[in-house]
Structure 1
Amino acid sequence: MTQSPESPLPPPKERRRLRESRSLTQVQVAERIGVSRATVRAWETGRTTPKAERLEAYAQLLASLAADTADAADTANAVEDTAPQPVIPAPAAPSLTPAQAFDALYEFCAPALVRQTYLLTGRRELARESVERAFQLAWQQWPQVAQDRDPAGWVRATAYEYALSPWHSFRPRYRHPEPPPADAGDRTLLHALLKLPPSYRRTLLLYDGVGLNLPETAAETEASTPAAANRLTHARAALAEHLPELSDPVALHRRLAELASTERLRAPQPTTVRTVGEQRTRFWTRAAIAFTVAIIGATSLTLRTAPTRYEAPLAPAQAVRGVPPRAALGPLSGAELKLQAKLRSAAARGPERVLPLPR
């Protein structure tokens, strides 16, 4: 994102540098301006720009930080001019290994993400399983996830997609509802949330729960900005019908945070997630290799036992036409009876020698 000529804000990288130069966190900047931490992160990465009501306050804050940084630099230069100090090389920042970077992301995102997924599904065990599977997939694709502009958003979107899969309804462990929250107000709010369509519920949670702005919410839910705004409006109206006091977005944000905090949901350790993910990857890799070997063996056996020449199949039997019917035996004539008797009597003594007759 490039800076527009009329924008009073510095480039995104400069915004972050000014904040870090005064040792301020994104949460502290968000509290001064009155927005969420996710909004400040989006401003510093350049994904979004402040709206008109927040633009002036953010610009003044950055200007004051720039002025403080300049004053500090002038003071440091003056001190260096009057009392030179020996130059000490700054220690190089230790680079994190992939496992350390993954563990840092997990420890930062997993606890809150489990509570968010619980609001999305109303199931404690499914919330933990969804977050664990999302981080296992992130560890399998860590080179790509680590270079993403928002790794936390990548994992959150993956966990939400897994949690909202309709196939969970066919699993025996998720066919029956879990015990509701103990507080009556929490039960009413959770019941109203679960009655919303999944897309409306997800949009409401991202916007009023996590604190993303509308373009970020639309991008994460793979919808247009008008469609995301329409879903958010209908979701708020549906909740207000059951709980009129939540018509105020500030009150809704607070109640969602309270409902998520009442459930003591713990995520497993990052080492366990990485280990289980690696074991699952090895299992499916071996299963794929075994299946491939089985197919190759079956193909080889078929090739060895198959005939080497073509053998025409036997034609089906057909009736032969033009053959005279077989005659049945009837009564013998007198001459035939004499011949029969002669042959029978001659057979007992043997045949007479046949001599040629003289001519």
Structure 2
Amino acid sequence: MTRRPATPLPPLEERRRLREAGSLTPDQLAARLGVAIGTVRAWESGRTTPRGRNREAYAKLLAALAESPTRTGAPGSAPAGGPEEPDAAVVAVGPAKTVSGGRRGRAAAKPSAFTQTPPPFSPFSPFSPRVPSWAPPEEEDPLGPVSDLTPVQAFDALYSFCAPSLVRQAYLLTGRRGLARESVERAFQLAWERWPEVARDPDPAGWVRAAAHEWALSPWHRFRPRHRRPEPPLSDASDRALLKVVLRLPPSYRRALLLHDGVGLGLPDTAAETEASTPATAGRLLHARRAIAARLPELSEPRVLHRRLAELASTEPLRTAGPPAARDGCERRARFWTRFALAFVAVLLGTTALSLRTPPAGHEPSVPPGETVRDVPPRVAPGPLSEKQRKLRAKLREELLHGPERLAPQPR
């Protein structure tokens, strides 16, 4: 008995490119195939491989998208007639975000004036990685394929996917190269420390991005001596002007502008990541755009602003240490705090035991009430008065009531 050969599939990069060219989100593709969205992400990232009927349906759908006449080519390329325009369906939906109400619940962004203005999220943007996204599946079929990645391999894949773009985002938020690298490394150290929680999150990249942004915008950095020194300026005058205007914005406005106009998140997703309401996020975004347009009128268009932010983020050669350095730093910090806690508890127990064993010298119990106190000197009192002192005292007592008599000179 011979086994039928498996249906061929396009390469990993081609799968996601075909889906994006066909204006399909992972939710829509999963709904067409009848699988979970995490399974679609696992197929696109290469962590799992479709089998059986799912493989055939997935291959037919990708072939239909490849032969579709509406496909314009690879993302980021422009047709011969002019610049590429974003698809309204892709811009309106935006990245999906998990909300309460079930593991498969997805919040679709409502179309508004803000969801139509930002440019489409291109994989060639400096704010996004240049490799397919990695995200653990929300739910795996009990009989389906199971990911064989170890925690170290999964963390390294997430680091390689997110770190290059996150360090550029942190640089636009802070304007400091060292703080940008430190924020990304600290975020990944925190992710490795809480890896079971991050691995089960529907959007691990968003989890790490939020942690990096919060660390970069922490107000306590201003008290560090090395962050009080000014950074070397950029070589281009237009880049210096744009970075100066962006850094003048409040931190919350700066973050909303970066997530919406830079990264390409929708307004509801930006509000959810910044932990603010949608109207408040819209107000911050409008204020940030107006502040930039007032000082740089040529950046009044959101598309032009997105392009300039991408160029500004790409000017500096920012690099991170690497996945092993992040994991080793997290483990060193955990060992340090564990040893510090054990040493503190040991010192506290030793001090308590010593104080109980050796009471202070010369301690005497308190005297109970009703007993005579001995060895106390008597109270000092004046002795008996003489006759002259008694007369003076009587005279003073009588005259002090009405005041002393007036002294008048008498003739001789």
TM-score w.r.t. structure 1 length? 0.69
- The answer to whether the 8 Å contact 1:110/1:267 transfers is yes
1:220 is aligned to 2:273? yes
Kept in 1, the 8 Å contact 2:93–2:109? The answer is: no
What is the CA distance between 1:33 and its match in structure 2? 2.6
Q: 1:126-184, CA deviations, whole angstroms, 9 ceiling, x for partnerless residues?
A: 00000000100000000011111211111111111111111111111100110121110
Q: Structure 2 regions of 5+ residues with no counterpart?
A: 1-24, 45-57, 67-72, 77-84, 99-103, 117-142, 368-372, 385-412
Distance 2:186 2:93 in 1: 23
Q: Which residue of 1 aligns with 2:215?
A: 162
Residue 31 of structure 2 corresponds to which residue in structure 1? 14
1:47 to 101, 107, 113: 107
2:192 maps to 1:115:
no
Q: Take 1:316 and 1:162, find their aligned partners in 2: how far apart are those partners?
A: 68
Do structure 1's residue 230 and structure 2's residue 283 form an aligned pair? yes
Q: 1:316 to 1:96 in 2, by over 3 A?
A: farther
Write the mapping of 1:189-268 to structure 2, written as runs, cut at 5 A.
Answer: 189-268=242-321
- Cα deviation for residue 219 of structure 1 reads 1.1
Quick one: structure 1 residues 38 and 198, their matched pair in 2 at CA, closer, same or farther if it must change by over 3 Å?
Answer: farther
Tell me the secondary structure at the aligned position of residue 181 of structure 1: coil
Q: How far, CA to CA, are the matches of 1:174 and 1:306 in structure 2?
A: 50
Give the match for residue 140 of structure 1.
193
Matches of 2:233 and 2:148, distance apart in 1: 45
Distance 1:246 1:45, change over 3 A: farther
Q: 1:36 to 1:119 in 2, by over 3 A?
A: farther
Instruction: Provide the C-alpha distance between the structure 2 equivalents of 1:125 and 1:10, rounded to a whole number of angstroms.
Output: 36
User: Greater helix percent: which structure?
Assistant: 1
**Is the CA contact (8 Å cut-off) linking 2:293 and 2:299 kept in structure 1?**
yes
Deviations 1:188-239 (A, max 9, x none): 0000001111111111111111111111111111111111111111111000
One-letter code of the match for 1:107?
Answer: S
Which amino acid is 1:39 matched to?
A: G
**TM superposition shift of 1:250:** 0.6
1:310 and 1:228, CA in 2 relative to 1: closer, same or farther beyond 3 A?
Answer: farther
- Aligned match of 1:171: 224
SS at match of 1:223: coil
Residue matched to 1:77: none
Residue 291, structure 1, aligned to residue 291, structure 2? no
Going from structure 1 to structure 2, the CA distance change for 1:239 and 1:311 (only over 3 Å counts) comes to same
Residue 83 of structure 1 corresponds to which residue in structure 2? none
Conserved in 2, the CA contact under 8 Å of 1:106 and 1:270?
yes
Secondary structure of 1:297's partner? helix
Give the unaligned 5+ runs of structure 1. Answer: 1-8, 56-89, 326-359
User: In structure 2, what is the Cα distance between the partners aligned to 1:124 and 1:148?
Assistant: 29
Give the Cα separation in 1 of the matches to 2:281 and 2:155. 31
- Asked if the contact 1:38/1:211 (under 8 Å) is kept, the reply is no
Q: Secondary structure at the match of 1:252?
A: helix
Matched position secondary structure for 1:282: helix
1-structure distance, mates of 2:298, 2:105: 35
Amino acid at match of 1:291: F
Q: What is the distance in 2 between the residues matched to 1:154 and 1:128?
A: 17
Residue 156 to residue 45, structure 1, CA distance change in 2 (3 Å): farther
**Counterpart amino acid of 1:127?**
A
Structure number, greater radius of gyration: 1
TM-score of the pair, normalised by structure 2:
0.61
Q: How has the CA–CA distance of structure 1 residues 265 and 318 changed in structure 2, closer, same or farther, with 3 Å as cutoff?
A: same
The 1:45/1:206 distance shift into structure 2, 3 A limit, reads farther
Q: 2 CA distance for matches of 1:46 and 1:288?
A: 42
Deviation sequence 1:80-100 (CA, Å, 0-9, x none)? xxxxxxxxxx99565111111
- What amino acid is the match of 1:161? E
Structure 2 residue 335 is the aligned partner of structure 1 residue 282:
yes
SS for the counterpart of 1:194 is helix
Percent identical residues? 56
Residues 200 and 235 of structure 1 are in contact (CA less than 8 Å); yes or no, is this contact kept in structure 2? yes
Q: Is the 8 A contact 2:253 2:285 kept in 1?
A: yes
Partner Cα separation in structure 1 for residue 197 and residue 144 of structure 2: 29
CA gap 1:120/1:98 in 2 versus in 1, 3 angstroms: same
- Could you list the per-position Cα deviations for residues 14-73 of structure 1 after superposition, in whole angstroms to 9, with x for gaps in the alignment? 155789624589x97898735469924449972324638999xxxxxxxxxxxxxxxxxx
- Aligned-pair Cα RMSD in Å: 3.7
Q: Write the letter of the residue equivalent to 1:152.
A: A
2: CA distance, partners of 1:18 / 1:164: 34
Q: Deviations over 1:234-260 (max 9, x none)?
A: 111000011111110111111111100
Match of 1:312 in 2: 366
Equivalences, count: 282
Determine the C-alpha separation between the residues in 2 that align with 1:105 and 1:120: 22
Question: Residues 120 and 194 of structure 1 are in contact (CA less than 8 Å); yes or no, is this contact kept in structure 2?
Answer: yes
Q: SS of the residue aligned with 2:94?
A: helix
